[in-house]
Structure formats: structure tokens, C-alpha cells
Structure 1
Amino acid sequence: MSLFGSSGVRGVVNDGMTPELACRIGMAVGSDAGNVVIGTDSRTSGPMMEAAVSSGLMACGCQVYSCGLVTTPTLAEATRCMDAGVMLTASHNPPEYAGIKLWNPDGMGFSVSQSDKIEQLVSSRKFRLKPWDKVGQRHVLNDVPEMHARRILAGVGKAKLKVVVDCANGPAFNITPIVLQRMGCKVVTINSNPDGHFPGRMPEPTEENLGDLRNAVVSMNADVGIAHDGDADRMVAFDDKGQYLGGDQLLALFAKRYAKKKVVVTVDASMAIDDYVDAKVVRTRVG
């Protein structure tokens, strides 16, 4: 059995990615964790999957803290004070997909060895189930996006820009526009209503899917356009002339500005980064 890919577990809802599997993954995580935070993107399967994973966690005695509809970076931030985090998202995949990403308190995703351990428990079903009087409880966290926004704002300065943000009908609506506004930007949003059918565009932020954003940036004389994927752990951009800047181009720009001695990129990142930045480029596996 091989559940985990480069970024968690994904599959079509009720055809591979079922509530039963989600519950078993919850029991596997709960067998080694006491406090777990859980969040979802805007997919229609989110409430179902959250209920299933939470049931598995609580069956093993976990205290489950639900932060509702949040981005993956927000969930990772909330995991800092927990034993683990569970993000229910299929990222950039089409709406019929669901997924589970697991996080450590240091903001890193589960390692290969941790993922292997979860797979073994799911397969063997040797979970550490608790008796009736020791099962966990569910708690609700209402202020997680606000806490994340404050942490970001503590490390950035002011900006007087006009920005168009495409939230991809996902949870980016409750973090990116708010942070930019508080920085001093004038912000216009599109696709900012969370909707798991993704009526505005598909969650993959390819240039072909972002025609509305390009047109908005140019027609509104904006300084920049920003687009997220379905769980907002990725962004692409358009400049003020409507030129698309993909992940590799943005990575090169950020590395050029901030890297002093060394920058780490994934193995699939463009080789152009090596030519563009002055720092040493180190490549690592995806995920």
C-alpha cells in the first residue's frame, strides 16, 4: 500500500478517498498525538472529511481543535502549539478530489518516516483506541486566521500598492486580502467567495486559468495581481503590464532579493534559478 504522495494523501471523493480511510488516518495520527488542530479548504467534501478524521482522532483520545475554513499556511501556523496538524485539501486538483496533509509543530510536513508509520498503522489497524471515558473532545478555534495575519504583519513593512487578488474560491479570502489591506494596499478581490465547485476558475493557477485576473490588473491600472491555488500554499502573479510570473520566476526573484549564501529549491525548479541568483542553490525532493 502507498497512501502518501509528495504532498499528503489525495484521491477522488468516495472513490479512493473515503470517510473510512480518513477515519483510519485520524486513528493512526491520534495513536501518537494528544492535541491536533484540523482545518479545511472550501471543497464540498470538507465537512464530511473533517468529521471522519476528527472521529478517528478522538477515538484515540485526542483533543481536536477545529479552525474551520483556513489556508494550508494558516493551518501550519496553528500547528505550532499542537502535537500535529491535519489539513483537509486537495490543493490545486479539480473539485471532485479530496486530500489530507499532515503537519509537525515546526511547520514542516510529515517526513517520509512519519508517513510510512501512518501507512503501516492504517494497514495493520493496530490503533491505540481509548475506552469510553477517555475518548477525546472537539473544540472550536475562531481566531486562527487573525493570529496568522498578525504574525505575518509583525515581519513586514508598509506598501502603497493597488493589488488584485484572485482567491480561487478558496480560503485565501480570509488572509491574503486582509494582510495586504493592513499593510496599506488598495485591494480588489475576485473569486473571493468560498465555493467548492470553483465557479470562477479551476484551482490550478496556470496562466490559462487566470485570464480574468490579467484583465483586471490591466483595466484597473493595478500594480500587481496575485493568484492562489485551492488552499493558498502557492501563488503566482501578474505585473502591471499583465505579464504572467509563475512559480519559478517568483522563486528566482525572491531568492535574488533575500538569499545571502544558500537557497534551497525542489528538484523540479527551473535551472534558470542557478544562473539568476548569486547564492548557492541546493535541491531537495518535492514535498
Structure 2
Amino acid sequence: MIQFGTGGFRAIIGEDFTRSNLELLSAALAKMIKKDHLENHPVVIGYDRRFLSDLGSKWIACTLAAEGIGVHLINHDAPTPLIMFQVLQENAAYGMAVTASHNPAEYNGVKLFTSGGRDATEEVTDRVEKEISGIRPSEIRTMEYEKAVEDGLIVEIDPQNHYIDSILNVIDIEAIKKKNLKILLDPMFGVSKTTLQTILLTCRCNVEVIHDRHDTLFGGRLPAPNSSTLTHLAQMVVQNGYDLGIATDGDADRIGLIDSSGTFIHPNDILVLLYYYLHEYKGWKGAVVRSIATTHCLDRMAESFGETSYEVPVGFKHISSKMEETDALIGGESSGGLTVRGHIHGKDGVYAGSLLVEMMSVMGKSLRDILDEIHRKYGNFVMDEFDCRMTGERKEELQKLLFEEKQLPLFDLTVEKISYLDGCKVYFKNGGWIICRFSGTEPVLRIFCEMENAAEAERISRVFRDFLGL
């Protein structure tokens, strides 16, 4: 069973993430490429450090090669943004990353990219699923990897230096050199070490790295940079006097930050920091695009800039599409993924980390001081987050309650409007909001609530949770 969610196709290894399914997916993509007469454009393939990612990339490549589709295979584990960068550089027909991003270690999957290095839209993934439904297993062809290389159908490539240079070319290296920042990098056993460490060392930062060995179990932690998974990073930042701790998720498209006091910087604040810095200090103008579950501080900031804040469903394909449509400056979501105009069309934790180091160097302030400056101008925005894993039956029950019957709790705040753009979002007159939605990558129900203080956000979230029996 192959179904695409907000972040590609993801499944438990040995259940739906299997060799036969990867070959089936590849055969379907080959059919699409031929129907669209794109055989002369390569498919760029890369992989992360998860179990079977390297082999999975070869299974995909060999199936495409058997159909006469040329493949450019990155010959080492690589960040997802690097793969997207290469799709853009080569004007490739498609790109594929074998990764399950920040999911638990028992998962793997495939992210699909289209021309220009952007996340495949729902229209594209719907086409893939339709092609899959019409393929019989006996129709799937493959070939030996060595034979495909010998015939030139698979070409191994290493675009890492070009990707690194593309970032170095747009950041203020001299400003960073003057500050000699001490930075602790946590790749979370993923793939960002070489790229991000090389960029920071080139800028003469003092860089140390933890959790960089190849461990397909990610040290027993979820490879997602959040407050609960970065406690070790936070402790080491304080104990050893680092100016900043930077973490990236398993495939390096998301970022997490720890400030010099050991405090976790929420991804919402990372977006706010960068939009403020890029617009007010670098002079890069433009709108902002955020997902429906991301801070409204961006709206207030955009309004003060004379710009627009656009709200889209969760999933970076929606963000990148709206950014392209509006020529927005920055886009992102509350899970730590963001991108900036002029770079790739997808989220990039390596580029985001580089820009944040530049920001600290140019402004000459700590992250906390910069955030305090922003809050004095735009007010406080605090988010409460709640996740609950669901059985199929429970999910179906709550979907009916929320999206068919459209029942909601009785809030003691004045409701301004309700949106069902993605999940169920309630906007309050006081500027706060709450959203309840099902994850597109895991069997999880998520509730986000943003208010001007933590106590009020937790209180309103509890009203919704009690209503749903959670």
C-alpha cells in the first residue's frame, strides 16, 4: 500500500516500506515520465542514514534504469535539501530522497520532488498513486546495479561542494568571522554534519559536533529537534559555554536551536527571528508564508512591514507553491522547516542554521536579546502543543465528530471564525487561535493553541482535549 501524505510516502520497514513497493513506486514514476516525454531529463536520487536507505535508493535506481530512465545517484548519504538543490541545478524531471525525515527509526519512506527542486504537489502524487493502481507485479522490470552503471543509465554524482558553495555565496562570511562564535552542532545521528560544519568552519566558527556516528536507531531518540530530544545539547551548551547549539533532524531539512542559556528556541521563534532579520537588517523585502498551525506573530510583523502573511495547509508543498506564486521572502512551519527566496523551493535546515549564525554576528546580540527586542515591538505569542497517537477506529470516530458533524467545544472566548482548510481551526477575537488536525505522516492527532501567555494557551487547549476525551 503506497499513499503519499504531507511529507511523501512513509511506512514501517518490512510492512509497507519494502523492496517490492519501492520498485512498484519507481515503475509508476517511469510510466509518468514516458507519458510526459521527459526521458531526456535525469532523475536525481539521494538517501539518508536510515536502515535500508542506501539499498532502497539502488532498488529505485535499478527499476528506473530498466525502463530506460537515466538516474543521477548521489554516492553518499546526503541532506534532503542537497538533493532538492541538485534537482534544481540539473533541471531534472524528478528527484527522490529515501528518508522518513523525523519519523521514528522503524519508519522509512520516499520524498518526491519535481522540476525546479520542489516538493511534489498533490496533483503529482495523485498521478503516481493512480499509475501504481494499474501496474501488475509481473510488469515491473529491474536490472543489476553494476550493469546499469556500465551502460551509463546510472551515474554516481557528488554535488556536495556546489551545494555548500551556494550557501557560502549568500551569507556574510566576513561578519561571522569577526565574531568567532563557539557553536555546538547536533546532527541527531543524521546527515548534516559535513555540510553545516564545513560552512561554519569556513566562517571561522569554533565548532564541535555530538551525535554524529552512523546509528540507524538514532541513539534511541526521535530524530526530531524539539525540547524533549535536545536536553543533552542544552546541557552541553551551558556546561561548555557555547554561544549557540544547532540541531537538525534526520534528513537535515528541519532545525532546532538552543541559546547560550540552554533554552530551547521554539521553531515559531526561529521563523520570526529570520523574517525580522532578513527584512529589517539585510533589507530583503517580501511577504511571508506560514502553515495554518504556525505563529500569528508573523502576521503582525508582516503588517508592520507593509507586507502580507499568507496562510496555507500544513505541508511544505503548499508553502513553496504559495511562495512562488507571491514571490514571498520566507516561508515555514512550526515544526522547524523553512526556506528563503532565492534558495531551493523546499525547507533547508543547513541554510537556516547558516543564516541564524549570520544574524547573531551582524546584530551582535544573543538569540534571547533579539527575541526580547521582537516581543517588545510585536507582543507575546506562546504556543501549547499536544500530540496523541490514534488507533484507526479512534481516528475515524474523531474525524466524524469534527469534520462531518462539525461539533466543537463551548469556548469562553469570543470566536471570530472557524476554518476547515486543514483540520479544524478556531480563531478568537483576542488574536489567539486553536487548531486540531491529524498528522499527514504519522497516526497522530495534534492540537496547537497560541495565546499571549502559556497558562491561557494550556487552558484553551485543555478545553478542546476534554471535549475530545483525550
| Paired residues for 1:17-32 under 5 Å | 17-31=17-31, 32=33
The one-letter code matched in structure 1 to 2:112 is L
For structure 2, the residue ranges without an aligned partner over 5 or more in a row are 280-284, 316-470
Alpha-carbon distance, 1:218 to partner: 1.1
| Paired residues for 1:195-210 under 5 Å | 195-199=215-219, 201-210=221-230
Alpha-carbon distance, 1:271 to partner: 2.2
1:166–1:17 CA distance, 2 compared to 1 (3 A):
same
Structure 1 equivalent of residue 186 of structure 2: 166
Structure 1 equivalent of residue 11 of structure 2: 11
| Residues 60 and 129, structure 1, Cα contact 8 Å, conserved in 2 | no
1:136–1:16 CA distance, 2 compared to 1 (3 A):
farther
Q: Could you tell me how far apart the structure 1 residues matched to 2:136 and 2:68 are?
A: 15
Q: Could you tell me how far apart the structure 2 residues matched to 1:131 and 1:75 are?
A: 23
Alpha-carbon distance, 1:254 to partner: 1.0
Relative to the length of structure 2, the TM-score reads 0.57
Does residue 137 (structure 1) correspond to residue 162 (structure 2)? The answer is no
Of 40, 51, 61, 2:68 maps to 61
Q: Which runs of 4+ in 1 moved over 4 A?
A: 126-136
1:136–1:62 CA distance, 2 compared to 1 (3 A):
farther
Structure 1 equivalent of residue 84 of structure 2: 76
Alpha-carbon distance, 1:29 to partner: 1.8
Structure 2 equivalent of residue 93 of structure 1: 103
Q: Could you tell me how far apart the structure 2 residues matched to 1:131 and 1:258 are?
A: 48
Structure 1 equivalent of residue 400 of structure 2: none
Q: Which moved more, 1:228-237 or 1:102-111?
A: 102-111
Of 259, 265, 269, 2:290 maps to 265
Structure 2 equivalent of residue 191 of structure 1: 211
1:60–1:126 CA distance, 2 compared to 1 (3 A):
farther
Structure 2 equivalent of residue 157 of structure 1: 172
| Residues 30 and 57, structure 1, Cα contact 8 Å, conserved in 2 | yes
Q: Which moved more, 1:84-93 or 1:212-221?
A: 212-221
> Residue by residue, what CA displacement relative to the aligned partner does 1:261-282 show, whole Å, maximum 9, x if unpaired?
4111111212233234433210
* Aligned length, in residue pairs: 286
Q: Could you tell me how far apart the structure 2 residues matched to 1:261 and 1:44 are?
A: 41
1:2–1:20 CA distance, 2 compared to 1 (3 A):
closer
The one-letter code matched in structure 1 to 2:78 is V
Structure 1 equivalent of residue 309 of structure 2: 281
Does residue 148 (structure 1) correspond to residue 186 (structure 2)? The answer is no
Identical pairs, percent = 27
Higher fraction of helix: 2
Alpha-carbon distance, 1:78 to partner: 1.0
1:29–1:2 CA distance, 2 compared to 1 (3 A):
closer
Q: Could you tell me how far apart the structure 1 residues matched to 2:162 and 2:289 are?
A: 28
| Residues 30 and 58, structure 1, Cα contact 8 Å, conserved in 2 | no
Q: Could you tell me how far apart the structure 2 residues matched to 1:88 and 1:284 are?
A: 26
For structure 1, the residue ranges without an aligned partner over 5 or more in a row are none
| Residues 10 and 99, structure 1, Cα contact 8 Å, conserved in 2 | yes
Does residue 212 (structure 1) correspond to residue 232 (structure 2)? The answer is yes
> Residue by residue, what CA displacement relative to the aligned partner does 1:222-268 show, whole Å, maximum 9, x if unpaired?
11111111100000101111111121110111112224341111112
